[in-house]
Amino acid sequence: MPDTTTPPSSSGGDRERRVSDIAADYAANGYTVIRGFADAATCREQLEAAVELSRADDDTKYVIAEGNPAADASNPEDFVAKLFKLHRRRPFDRFAHDDRLLEILTTIIGPDVDVFLSQFIFKAPEAYGQPWHQDSYYFPFEASHQVGVWLAVTRATLENGCLWVVPGTHQEAIYEHVPDDRPHATQAYTKIVDRDMSTAVPMLMDPGDLLLFDSHVIHSSTDNESTELRAAFVCHYGTAGIADHVPPGVNVFDGAPVVRHGEHVPA
């Protein structure tokens, strides 16, 4: 595959950053950030679609409720923590199959790639963050390393609960996770309690910035202590066929091909 640059949005960003450099940064640290990957229109369209779906009477949507909504919450989306199974829906499918993104993913994963999980995250004011965890704890697959792709739909700041990651932990095994024991914790949250996290760094992001991270990377987010929404669209990718290993009764996974034999599969 030619080593091309990854064209960002018209807002600027990592215009001259080569795919090989992105992959090398990812391999070294377990994560990498691509600034200005998506434009403002894409972020706005995704947010509007997620709000519309939250408000719709739609039996096909899969929702995890916010465990700690604000006292003055009033709109349906204020009570939603996450919407799942979006990568077959417009406009999210277009992003999940973005050619620029798939070029990076094939460099990291290989020539046959599936998207197996997608979610839109609403973190409204007063919502809890998610404790320290590794995504592979939730993904009991072989191979055990997948790639999370986290698009900042709104800005992510220290005040509104940005992600924090511990560099280099993609090289570590999966730690024991215990249930999140906070009152009103969001359903199924767990946490790591036996590792020093003092080397963690915050992922301060503007709308359109993209974070790629290995599923072994230890990460968390803090509570939203601001008056603004912190929203993100997240897809998880792995080697083709990975969703075939989903345990019976687990229904948040939905494997779909995005690359076969190095060729991008249209949305």
Q: What is the pLDDT of residues 201-233, one digit of tens each?
A: 999 999 999 999 999 999 999 999 999 999 999
DSSP 184: T
Angle between helices 99-109 and 19-29 (to 10 degrees): 50
Spatial contact of 83 and 123, defined as CB atoms under 8 Å apart: no
What is the pLDDT at residue 1?
37
What would the pLDDT profile of 127-136 be if each residue is shown by its tens digit? 999 999 999 9
Q: Is domain 19-242 classified as CATH 2.60.120.620?
A: yes
What is the pLDDT at residue 14?
64
**pTM higher than 0.85, yes or no?**
yes
**Residue ranges per structural domain of the chain:** 19-242
Where the chain has pLDDT below 70, the residues are 1-16, 247
CB-side neighbour CA atoms (13 Å) of 30: 20
